[in-house]
Amino acid sequence: MTEPKDIVLKKSEEIEGLPIEGPWPDEVSSLEEVLDYYERIGFQATHLGKAIGIWRKVEEKRAKGEEVRVFLGYTSNIISSGLREIIAWLVKEGKVDVIVTTAGGIEEDFIKTLKPFILGDWNVNDALMREKGINRIGNIFVPNDRYIEFEKYMIPFFERILEMEREVGKPLTASEFIHEMGRYMDEKLGKEKERSVIYWAYKRNVPIFCPAITDGSIGDMLYFFKEERGDRELIIDIANDIVKLNNLAVTAKETASIILGGSLPKHAIINANLFRGGTDYAIYITTAVPWDGSLSGAPPSEGVSWGKIRAKADYVEIWADATLVFPLLVWKVMKG
């Protein structure tokens, strides 16, 4: 019979690894030094520390002239928040090569060049908000006059696109449509455009893919445009964009996939990488859980089972709100 003491004080094997240790406040003097400890703190801090290491490796390779094509995916709420400006900076500085987002990630970027979104509260009377014409995205308020102003720009833009399609004799793809939107912003908008993802993607020739481009205010404006004119000519082609997106993965020597949130952008990116045998580097930042079988909650290891992430890929998932950790990640990799 095993003695209770032997059960409780069971002998253990020796293991090696990083000791769990956080920063001693008297010994650090900057955010950069604090972030140096993250991999050793444990839990999700360790995952953030690993993400810093992965992205740094990608940046080091690119600095040496090695090709690592960086795919960035994000859902519209990321642009609703103040992460928009960080993403625009990444595009401006040439840190991102391909973007995939949702419809809100396009239109809200444009709308913010016209009028800002306003910090509100989580606890409000939403029925009263509706009466006042104020839309809510969590604790971010978006008065409806933003969409009214957006329509003033979109209707002439649709007319321009329709004329372009008549001239070339075929529909523009969604990525071409967004590229032209960047050109339109460059022509029509003032200095505020310099905080725009679309604007810098246009200037740096970074393609933005949006397979569900009609699932938002752009779709609403298209509806108004087509119904009021009886138009059936204006078409946005998403079929040819899938060829372009997949080939951007297939033709890359290596790829890195940085994904904020889940949904369509996440799958479009990793599915494109399936055609090359999987992405080489992956950083997920999400609050979605895997237990319902959703793609949004699927961890990188599940992507390995599909061949969308290489078995030997360097990957990590940070389970956290992207607004908390993405600024730290970008700052440490790019500035730290």
308 part of the active site: yes
SS3 assignment for 5-28: HHHHCCCCCCCCCCCCCCCCHHHC
Cα 172 to Cα 233: distance, rounded to the nearest angstrom: 12
Sign, CA torsion 60/258/192/185: positive
Q: Where are the alpha helices (DSSP H) in the chain?
A: 4-8, 31-35, 38-41, 43-63, 76-80, 83-92, 103-114, 126-131, 145-168, 174-188, 197-204, 217-229, 239-250, 263-274, 300-306, 322-334
- Calculate the CA dihedral of residues 94, 209, 186, 196 and round it to 10 degrees: -60
Cα 336 to Cα 333: distance, rounded to the nearest angstrom: 6
Cα 260 to Cα 322: distance, rounded to the nearest angstrom: 6
Q: Quick count: other Cβ atoms within 10 Å of Cβ 252?
A: 21
Task: List the catalytic residue out of 112, 193, 266, 308.
Answer: 308
Strand order from edge to edge, sheet including 134-137: 118-119, 140-143, 134-137
How far are the Cα atoms of 35, 245, 255, 329 from residue 332, in angstroms, in the given order? 7, 29, 21, 5
Sign, CA torsion 100/238/177/214: negative
For residue 111, report the phi and psi dihedrals to the nearest 5 degrees: -60, -40
CB contact at 8 A, 164 and 171? no
The DSSP H or E segment spanning 140 is strand 140-143
Give me the active site residues, please. Answer: 308
